[in-house]
Amino acid sequence: MKNVIEVKHLTKSYKSNKAVDDLSLTVKEGEILGLLGPNGSGKTTTMNCILSLLKYDNGVINIFGKEMKPDAYDIKAKIGVVFQDVAVFDELTVYGNIDYFCGLYIEDKTTRAQYVEDALKLVGLEDNKGQYPKQLSGGLLRRLNIACGIAHKPSLIFLDEPTVAVDPQSRNNILEGIKKLRDNGATIIYTTHYMEEVEILCDRVIILDHGKIIASGTNDELKSLAKIEEKVTIEVPDLAPEKLAGFDKIKNVSEVEYDNGVLKIVYGKGKNNLADMVEYLKANKINYNKIFAERPTLNDVFLELTGKELRD
Partner 1 sequence: MIVSKAFWKIVLKNIGSIISPTIVLLMFGTISATSTSSTMTYEARKPAIVIFNHDEEVGMTKSFISYIDKNAEIKTDYKDDDRLKDALFYENVAAVVEIPENFHQDIALGHKPEVKLRSSAGYVAEVAKVMIRRYLTVAEGYAATNLSEQALVERVDKAIVDDVETEMQAPVDTSKFAKASRYYSFANYTILSCFITIICLIMSAFNRTELRKRNLVGAIDIKKMNLILLKNCCLYALAAWAFYVTVSVFVLGTDVMFTTQGLLYAANSFVFAVMATTVAYLISLFGLTAGAVNGVQNVLALSSSFLCGAFVPIEYMPESVVLFAHALPSYYYIDANDKIMNLSDYSFENLLPILLEMAVVAGFTILFVIVANIISKKRRKIA
Binding site for partner 1 (CB under 8 A): 51, 53-55, 70-71, 73, 76-77, 79, 81, 83, 85-92, 96, 99-101, 103-105, 148-149
Nearest residue (CB) to partner 1, 79 versus 277? 79
Nearest residue (CB) to partner 1, 71 versus 183? 71
| 3-class secondary structure, 265 | strand
Nearest residue (CB) to partner 1, 50 versus 205? 50
Best CA proximity match to 266, nearest among 234, 240, 235, 311? 234
CA distance 148 to 95: 9
Shortest CB 87 distance to partner 1, Å = 3
Shortest CB 286 distance to partner 1, Å = 56
Shortest CB 107 distance to partner 1, Å = 8
Shortest CB 281 distance to partner 1, Å = 54
Shortest CB 149 distance to partner 1, Å = 8
Residue 226 DSSP class: G
Long-range contacts of 54-60 (CB under 8 A, 24+ apart): 54/12, 56/10, 56/11, 56/12, 56/20, 57/11, 57/12, 57/13, 58/9, 58/10, 58/11, 58/22, 59/7, 59/8, 59/9, 59/10, 59/11, 59/23, 60/6, 60/7, 60/8, 60/9, 60/10
Nearest residue (CB) to partner 1, 161 versus 230? 161
| 3-class secondary structure, 298 | helix
Shortest CB 132 distance to partner 1, Å = 9
Nearest residue (CB) to partner 1, 189 versus 205? 189
CA distance 239 to 247: 11
Nearest residue (CB) to partner 1, 89 versus 292? 89
